[in-house]
Amino acid sequence: MSRPLDLYGRFAEAAERYPDETALEVAGEILTYRQLRSAAEELAEKIGQAKRVGLLVSRTLPIYAGWLAALRAGAAVVPLNPEHPVARTAEIGASAGLDLILADAAEEGPGDIGVPVLAVTADDITTWAGLPAPVKERRPAAPDSTAYLIFTSGSTGRPKGVPVTHRGICAYLTDLDGRYGIGPGSRLSQCFELTFDGSVHDLFVTWSSGGTLVVPRRTQLMSPVRMVNTLRLTHWFSVPSLISFASRLGTLTPGAMPTLRWSVFGGEPLTLKAAREWREAAPHSRVDVLYGPTELTISCTAHLLPDDPAAWPDTPNGTAPIGTPHPSAEAVVLDEDGRPADTGELCVRGALRFAGYLDPAENTGRFLDEDLRPADGPPGERHWYRTGDRVTRLDGALVHLGRDDQQVKIRGHRVELGAIEAALRRAGGVREAAVVAAKAPDGEPELLAAVSGTDRTPDALYEALGAELPPHMMPRRITVLDALPLNANGKTDRRALLTALGRDG
């Protein structure tokens, strides 16, 4: 069956098929597909002719309805973090060309950034949800128009805008159609913050298939097992770091999450050790790994681990494979000389690849032409995006080895920080490990390591590392922490880690 090529159309199609099924549970409110569509249609009228709508995100009813309403109005959605300084929000607003900001009236506003604000209450949404089903005809968004804009941290420190088209996100949803058996009665987690593109997966993988999006409170995310059971979740999607939260609480006991049928992890490498711990606690759940930067529309590869953990692969760094490309993506691995190889930088093209950064200057060095040579000017349809991630092939699947920028030279030796982290995780009881490079007093780089989840002393860890690593790969110092610092997206915050270790890079 041909599916709509615009994002709101995917939701509207599901609303036609499943009008009386529950679409959303948030803050004690429950909306069916019919009700959520009615609310979105009414709110779209308030949005009017705006082409770029900032969404001041929170885990509240107006914001989820607002996501759909902006799409219904024909606008591109630009999630904004309410915790950011006003100056940063203003910079994003100017870069994105915002016409309007949609906010929850019960939450603090964005500050004065020169953009009109439409404040909506939860009562507004429930009132509009009770109106008759919409009958107005809708002109679908053009497939190559922008559906949403995610701003990531650029190398210059300025926010870097990544536009994703309706064609790209709908290709992604088509690639995942049927993969997770979602339908009426499925209850899917909404773990990712709405400023992170993993949240788009949460919303529209659910709302394309008749499932229920279940929105937890932020505090519930700190106790994943209790959250799964309290909310009766059948499908889970998060960064692997939440496994560590659950493990530290001692709640990942065998059979602790009987309702889960699917557990999906992405955003950072998933260690096989953590995957086994989660799988034991969710014995009826399959475990899937998604990989992909924002520029490749949420994820571009997937790897489904075998149902029997005894059949799971043994990878060089102890992380689960990231698998093979989605049907809409094509991948090539290039060595340092730019030639196809089994180990090297991963480059991807296809319908999932974005068309270039909001600021064209950011495209420099990020694309290769059809002949795998550096591309000049705007990227063409057949050009490759350079992910900056190093991978290797193992039994037909890709394994993530780390970032290219996580390669450093130590006394003339090229060192993969990920290789040291993998050795630390093997060193008895270590749950999390991170290695960073910092300047030594003589100006040369040196390695610092931090671990969590172990009772072993730094001396014992040094002894374990020395048994398998050469001297140039040994960290100058190993620090045992209660937990590694995380950024807002749940990934290891290496800049904060340097600060915690008393260094500034």
Q: Crossing angle for the helix pair 7-17 and 166-176, nearest 10 degrees?
A: 50
Alpha-carbon span 302 to 35, nearest angstrom:
34
**What distances in angstroms separate CA 333 from CA 71, 184, 276, 346, 347, one per listed residue?**
36, 40, 29, 5, 6
**Closest Cα partner for 385 from 162, 186, 191?**
162
Contact 190, 213 (CB under 8 A): yes
H/E element, 466: helix 458-466
Cα angle 170-51-54, degrees, rounded to a multiple of 5 = 85
Contact 231, 216 (CB under 8 A): yes
Enter the pTM of the model: 0.85
**String of b and e for 437-470 (b: at least 16 CB within 10 Å)?**
bbeeeeeebbbbbbbbbbebeeeebbebbeeebe
Q: How many CA atoms lie within 13 A of 135 on its CB side?
A: 2
Position 428, amino acid: G
Alpha-carbon span 66 to 110, nearest angstrom:
16
* Residues in the chain, pLDDT under 50: 155-156
Q: Which strands sit side by side in the sheet containing 432-439, from one edge to the other?
A: 432-439, 445-452, 477-481
pLDDT digits (tens, 9 = 90+) for 442-486: 566 788 999 988 888 888 888 888 877 767 788 888 999 988 888
H-type alpha helices, 251-404 = 272-281
CATH number belonging to the domain at 411-500, selected among 3.20.20.210, 3.40.50.1820, 3.30.300.30, 3.30.460.20: 3.30.300.30
Sign of CA dihedral 363, 368, 374, 380: negative
DSSP-based three-state secondary structure for 320: coil
Q: Crossing angle for the helix pair 7-17 and 61-72, nearest 10 degrees?
A: 110
* Whole-number pLDDT of residue 464: 85
Alpha-carbon span 287 to 95, nearest angstrom:
39
Alpha-carbon span 274 to 320, nearest angstrom:
10
Contact 461, 468 (CB under 8 A): no
In angstroms, how far is CA 177 from the centroid of its own chain? 19
Quick one: DSSP state of residue 192?
S
**Closest Cα partner for 53 from 75, 68, 82?**
75
Burial class of residue 372, CB neighbours in 10 A (0-12, 13-18, 19+): middle
325-401: in CATH 2.30.38.10: yes
Contact 26, 60 (CB under 8 A): yes
For the chain, which residues make up each domain, given as ranges?
325-401, 411-500
Provide CB contacts within 8 A for 377, sequence distance 6+.
none
